[in-house]
Structure 1
Amino acid sequence: MTATDVPTEHAAFDFNPMVSPHREDPHLFYRLARQGPPRLSPTLGAYMVTRYDDLVAVIDDPQTYSSAPAVPKIYGNPPEVVEILRAGGVPETNAVVNEDEPEHTPVRRVFDAGFTGARVRAMLPTMRARAVELVDGFAGGRADLVAEYAVPFVQTVISAIIGFPPEDTEQIQVWTDDVNTLWNVLAPLEAQVASARRMAEYTRYLQALIDERRERPREDLISDLVHGANGYPGLSDELVQNIVRGAARVAGFDTTRDAITATMLLILQNPDARARVVDDPAKAIPKVTEEALRRDAPHRGLFRVTTRDTNLGGTDLPAGTPLLLLFGSGNRDETRFPNPDAVELDRPNVREHLAFGRGLHVCPGAPMARAEIRVALETLIHRLPGLRLADGYEPTYIASYFFRGLEALHVTW
C-alpha cells in the first residue's frame, strides 16, 4: 500500500522524528495520535501504532504481523548506494529481529548466549573499573555525561561482550554510525553514499575476526555465533556479520548510552528521586531506571507488515500494510500508566513498559543494559555527591530515525 491509497484524513497526520517539533518532544504528537486509530505517516510510509493495547496486539500476534521489515535492510537503499555495497562485497541477511518463526529460534538461541546471567556477572568488574576511570578523569568541575561518560563507558562494555579489540573502538564507532545511516530512510543520499563506501572495510575487518575465532574461540559473542550455543549450530559468516554490526553493536550501544543519560537527567531534574537514590541507591536505582525507561524509551520503535487483511484498533489494514510500532508512545498511554508524564518511582506496573520490546523479539541484552545503567549511576552518585545540572542547561535530542537520545548532558559539581 502507498500513501496515495490512503484516505486524505489519514495522510495528513504525519510524524518525522528527524525534525522539529517531533525531534525535541515527540510526546505531544504521541498524545494526540493515541486519541485515534492507527494512521499513516506519509514521511515514514507506515501506519503508526501508538496505543499500548494496539502495540501489544501486534507484538503478540506474529502470524498476522510479520517482523520481516523490523529494521530496514541496507540493500533497500537507493540504487547508487546499493551499487557501492555490492561492489564492496558487503553481505546482507535478515537480522535476528527481522526473522519470523521457525527461522527465528535457531538464530536467537545462539545470540542469547552472549547475554547470559553469567556473562553479565563476568562483565561487572569491567563496568565498575571503566566507570571509575572515567569519573576520575573529569577535569575542571564540569563534564558532558554523554560524550565524556556514557559513550566511552558503553563502548568499552559492548566491545568486550562482542570481542572487539579495545584499540579499535574509535574506528568501530565510525562504522557503527555508518550502519545507522544506512538504516535511516530519511538520511540524505550523500551521507548514505559516504557510509556505503566505508562498509567494505568493515566487512573485511569483521571477517578477519570471524576467521580468527573459528580457529581460536574465546568467551565472546563472535565465538558463540561462529561455533553455536544452547544446542544450536554456528551461523553463516554473513549472518554473523549482520548480527555483530547491527543487533549487537548498534542496538547494544545506542540504546544503553541513551538510557544511562535519560535516567541521570531524570534524577538531576527531580529532587525527590535524587534524594531516594542518594539515601538508598541499591533500592532506588532500579526503580528510577525502570521509570526512566518508561518515560523516555531509548528505542523509538520497530516495523511490522501485515500478512493478511486485518483490523487494528479500528483501522482496516490490507495484507502488506507496513506498521511502525512506537514504543515510546505506548509507554505513556494513559489507559495503562495513569498520570503518564509524571515521575513515580513506585509505579506498580512500571515493568510493563515496552522499552525493551516484548514477546518473541524482546531485547536479549536487556539484563546487560540494566546492569550497565546501575553501575554507571552508582559510580556517579558515589564519587560525585554534589553532581547537578550545569547552569542554563536545556536538554536537546539527536536527530535519529530509531533512537531517542540526548545530544549532551552538561553537569557540574
Structure 2
Amino acid sequence: MHNSPELVEKNPALSFKPFSEEYLADPYRVFSLIREAKPVFYDEEIGYWVVSRYADVRECFRDQERFSAAITLDQLKPLAPEALQVLVDSGVVPGSALVNEDPPTHAQRRKRLMVAFTPQRIRATEPRIREFVRGYIDRIVARGSADLVRDLVWDVPALVAFHFTGIPEDEVELCKGFATSYALFNWGYPSQEEQLRLSRKLADYWRYATMHIERLSRNLGDDFISEMIRGHLEDGELFDRNYLVWMMMNFTFAGHETTTAASANMFRALLENRAQWEALVADPSLIPNAVEECLRYSSSVVAWRRTTKVPVEIDGEAIPAGANLLILNGSANHDANEFAQPETLDIRRSNANRNLSFGFGAHLCMGAPVARLEMRIMLEELTARLPHLQLVQPQDFRFSANTSFRGPSSVLVEWDASRNPEPAQAA
C-alpha cells in the first residue's frame, strides 16, 4: 500500500519502506526527505529507531558507552522454527565476530588481529590484485560489451578476500555464493521458505569454514585466518574455536560483498556522470579521491545497527535503553551540513574522505584499506584500457532487498573495441 503524496509530505518517515522496489532503486530521495523533516523516528514495521543525520550517525558509531554493537549480526526478522532447527541440527553455534562486540573484548581482539592488516602487508598485495584485475579485463577487452559485475567486480574482491583467508583458488567458486545469501539472511526480511533455504546454505558454509580452519591449523600461513589461529593457540580465551569459524564467515562476506557492491556503484556513478569519468581518464592522479567520493555518493553499506545501553536523546527524540537503532550511513553521506551539494558527484571534493561508508571510531572496518586499494586498481586499469567505456542505455538496476547492503546486480557496459588503446587487444 502506498501513502498519499500529501501524507508523505507531512511525515516523510512514511516513505521509509526499506524492502520496496521504489526505495531500493533510490533510497537517497527518501533520505533527503527524512533528514529535513523527521531525522529520527520509530519505524513500527521493523521495530527500529531510524537515525539519518551525519552528526548523529557518527556519534552512534563513536560512543561505545551509550551505543552497543551487539545486535549488528542479529537477524532482522526472527528465524522460523524450521530454519532454526536446520542450524541446530548442523551444529551451528551462534557467536560474536568482532563487528558485534563491545569493549573491552572488542579492543583486545581487534588489536591482536590488526597485525594482519599493516600498511606493509596491504601494499604487498597490490601486484597480485593488479594481476587479478588485468586478467579479468583481458577476457573482455576485445569483446565490446560486458557486465562489470559478472565479468569483473564479483570475482576480483572474492579472489582478494579469499587470498586473505588462505582459501585455495580452486575453492573460490564454492565460497562465492555465500555472500549474497548472508545479506538477505541477516539484513533482509525473507519468507519462511527463503529462511529455510538460506539456513541450509549457512550450515553448508559453517561446515566448510570449520574444515578450512582445521586444515590451516596443520599448516599455518601468513593470511588473516592463520593469524587468528595463532591468537587462539596463544590465548584460547581470547579466540575460541567457535569464534574462529564465525570470524572467517563474516570476514569473507564483508571482504567480498561490500567491495563488489562499492565497485559496481562506483562504475555506475562515474559513467552516469560522464564528465567525471573523462576527468579521470585525463588525470589518473584524481583516482584515489574519486574512490572516496564514490564511497560517499553511493555507499555499499547504506545502514548499520546499534542498540542503546542507556536512555538517550537524539535530535529531540527520547529513546529508551535497549532500543534498536538503524543508523543510515548512506543518508549521513548526503547530509548538506557536512557535504556541500551532496547530491552532486564531485571527484575533487576536498572532504570526500569524511564519508561514513566504512563506519567510524573503534569499529571502523579493518578491511577498508584493502577495499580502497581494489577499487583504485580497478578504476586505474579500466580508465586506461577502456577509456571510451559507456553504460548500455537503457538498463534497469536491481538491488537485493535488505536494509544495509546496496549494489546493483549488474552494470552493463559497451565500447568500440577498435578504439582500444592497446591495439593487440582490439577486435
TM-score, L = length of structure 1: 0.92
Q: 1 CA distance for matches of 2:185 and 2:21?
A: 22
Partner of 1:227: 230
Which residue number in structure 1 is paired with residue 405 of structure 2?
A: 403
Q: Which residue of 1 aligns with 2:113?
A: 111
Q: Residues 170 and 313 of structure 1: is their aligned pair in 2 closer, same or farther, counting only changes over 3 Å? A: same
SS state at 1:21 partner:
helix
Q: Identify if the C-alpha distance between structure 1 residues 55 and 232 changes in structure 2 by more than 3 Å, giving closer, same or farther.
A: farther
Give the partner amino acid of 2:97.
Answer: A
232 and 368 in structure 1: CA distance in 2 versus 1, 3 angstrom threshold: farther
Deviates more, 1:109-118 or 1:189-198: 109-118
Range 198-207 or range 37-46, more displaced: 198-207
Residue equivalent to 2:242:
238
CA-to-aligned-CA distance 1:135-156 (integer Å, 9 cap, x gap): 1111531000011110011111
The one-letter amino acid paired with 2:307 is V
Query: For 1:259-338, what aligned pairs fall within 5 Å after superposition?
Result: 259-281=262-284, 283-338=285-340
Number of equivalenced pairs: 402
**Residue from 135, 156, 162 that aligns with 2:159:** 156
Please say if 1:195 is aligned against 2:176: no
Secondary structure, in 3 states, of the residue corresponding to 1:324?
strand
Match of 2:379 among 377, 380, 387: 377
> What residue in structure 1 maps to residue 24 of structure 2?
23
> What percentage of aligned pairs have identical amino acids?
30
The alpha-carbon deviation at position 333 of structure 1 amounts to 0.5
- Within the candidate set 51, 55, 58, 1:56 is matched to 58
Q: What are the superposed Cα offsets for residues 339-398 of structure 1, whole Å, 9 maximum, x if unpaired?
A: 110122222221111011100100111110010001111111122122111232344433
The alpha-carbon distance between structure 1 residues 83 and 394, as it changes in their structure 2 partners (threshold 3 A), is closer
Once the 2 structures are TM-superposed, how far is the Cα of residue 185 of structure 1 from its aligned partner? 4.5
The answer on whether the counterparts of 2:184 and 2:401 sit within 8 Å (CA) in structure 1 is no
What is the match of residue 134 of structure 1?
Answer: 136
Distance in 2 (CA, whole Å) between partners of 1:185 and 1:257 is: 18
CA displacement, residues 107-151 of structure 1 (integer Å, 9 cap, x when unaligned): 212332332212212221221111111111115310000111100
Counterpart amino acid of residue 158 in structure 1 = A
Aligned-pair CA distance for 1:189? 1.5
Q: Secondary structure at the match of 1:91?
A: coil
2:221 equivalent to 1:218? yes
CA contact (8 A) 2:77 2:190 kept: no
Could you tell me which amino acid in structure 2 is paired with residue 373 of structure 1? M
SS across alignment from 1:48: strand
Give the unaligned 5+ runs of structure 1: 1-8
Going from structure 1 to structure 2, the CA distance change for 1:20 and 1:203 (only over 3 Å counts) comes to closer
- The one-letter code matched in structure 2 to 1:24 is A
**1:340 equivalent in structure 2:** 342
Assess, with a 3 A threshold, how the Cα gap between structure 1 residues 400 and 108 changes in structure 2: closer, same or farther. Answer: same
Deviates more, 1:32-41 or 1:328-337: 32-41
Letter matched to residue 262 of structure 2: A
Residues 184 and 401 in structure 1, CA contact (< 8 A), matched pair in contact too: yes
List gaps (5 residues or longer) in structure 2: 1-9, 416-427
Amino acid at match of 2:376: R
Moved more, 359-368 or 207-216: 207-216
Local SS of the residue matching 1:346: coil
- 1:69-91 Cα deviation digits (max 9, x unpaired): 12215995222211110110012
* AA matched with 2:247: I
- Please give the TM-score of this superposition, normalised by the length of structure 2: 0.89
Residues 46 and 324 of structure 1 are in contact (CA less than 8 Å); yes or no, is this contact kept in structure 2?
yes
In the alignment, does 2:282 pair up with 1:254?
no
Distance 1:117 1:232, change over 3 A: farther
Q: Is the 8 A contact 1:11 1:39 kept in 2?
A: no
Indicate the residue corresponding to 2:67 in structure 1: 65
* Distance in 1 of aligned mates of 2:13 and 2:51: 16
Query: Is residue 191 of structure 2 the alignment partner of residue 180 of structure 1?
Result: no
Backbone CA RMSD of aligned residues: 2.1
Deviation of the 1:272 alpha carbon:
2.5
Q: Which runs of 4+ in 1 moved over 6 A?
A: 9-12, 231-234
CA distance in 2 between partners of 1:199 and 1:32 (Å): 37
Task: Assess if the C-alpha contact under 8 Å between 1:10 and 1:39 holds in 2.
Answer: no
Deviation, structure 1 residue 10: 8.3
* Residue identity opposite 1:384 in structure 2: L
Structure 2 counterpart of 1:89, from 72, 88, 91: 91
3-state DSSP class of the match of 1:71? coil
Alignment partners' CA distance in 1, 2:13 and 2:399 = 25
Query: How many Å separate the matches in 1 of 2:348 and 2:177?
Result: 40
Contact 2:12 2:34 in 1 (8 A): no
